[in-house]
């Protein structure tokens, strides 16, 4: 069973975008914060929130909420943003990350300041690993059988 971490899912989302849209930059953080201004078009992948609720015993329901911001090229029209959104619906409707299927839910998009903002959630189950308890090394067992008082035992033996 694969170990699921928030970063492994986030990096998997970025890898899916890179494979689906070769030649378009994919960033996990806003590259302009580092003083870099990438050439458009590019994608920004943001893990907005993550939550986890215990269901039963060691089983938890984990929910990850993503925003993918697509900054188009200067010459791209709004119609191409809708086509890009269609491609993202297909890509994250059923995504395979590290040989595990994740199904996107609550997918929606909006166009803000000529950029595409695509939102989706992943909901899946995780199991907390068990801790090894120290096992007992040895056990000495003793037992005694009680036959009643001594007189009754002797009297029964004499009657034979």
Is the pTM here over 0.95, yes or no? no
Residues 6+ apart with CB under 8 A from 26: 14, 17, 18, 42, 43, 45
Pairing status of strand 25-27 against strand 42-56 = parallel
Q: Which domains does the chain have, with CATH numbers?
A: 6-127 (3.30.2000.10)
Hunting for tokens 């199904």 — which residue is that? 103
pLDDT surpasses 60 at 34? no
Rounded CA separation 155/138 (Å): 42
Rounded CA separation 125/131 (Å): 19
Do residues 100 and 2 touch, judged by C-beta distance below 8 A?
yes
Could you give the strand order of the β-sheet that contains 115-127, starting from the edge strand earlier in sequence?
25-27, 42-56, 59-71, 115-127, 104-112
pLDDT surpasses 80 at 48? yes
Give me the pLDDT at residue 64, please: 92
pLDDT surpasses 80 at 54? yes
Rounded CA separation 44/92 (Å): 15
Rounded CA separation 13/66 (Å): 9
Give me the pLDDT at residue 1, please: 45
């Amino acid at each position: 069973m694969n170990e699921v971490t928030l970063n492994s899912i986030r990096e998997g989302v970025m890898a899916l975008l890179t494979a689906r849209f070769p030649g378009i930059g994919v960033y996990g953080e806003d590259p302009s914060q580092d003083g870099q201004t990438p050439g458009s078009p590019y994608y920004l992948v943001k893990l907005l929130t993550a939550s986890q609720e215990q269901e039963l015993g060691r089983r938890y329901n984990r929910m990850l909420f993503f925003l993918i911001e697509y900054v188009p090229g200067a010459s791209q029209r709004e119609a191409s943003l809708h086509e890009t959104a269609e491609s993202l619906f297909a890509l994250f409707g059923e995504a395979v990350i590290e040989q595990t299927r994740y199904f996107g839910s609550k997918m929606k998009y909006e166009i803000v300041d000529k950029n595409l903002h695509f939102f989706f959630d992943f909901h899946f189950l995780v199991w907390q690993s068990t801790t090894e308890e120290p096992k007992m090394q040895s056990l000495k067992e003793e037992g005694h059988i009680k036959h009643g008082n001594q007189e009754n035992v002797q009297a029964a033996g004499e009657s034979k």
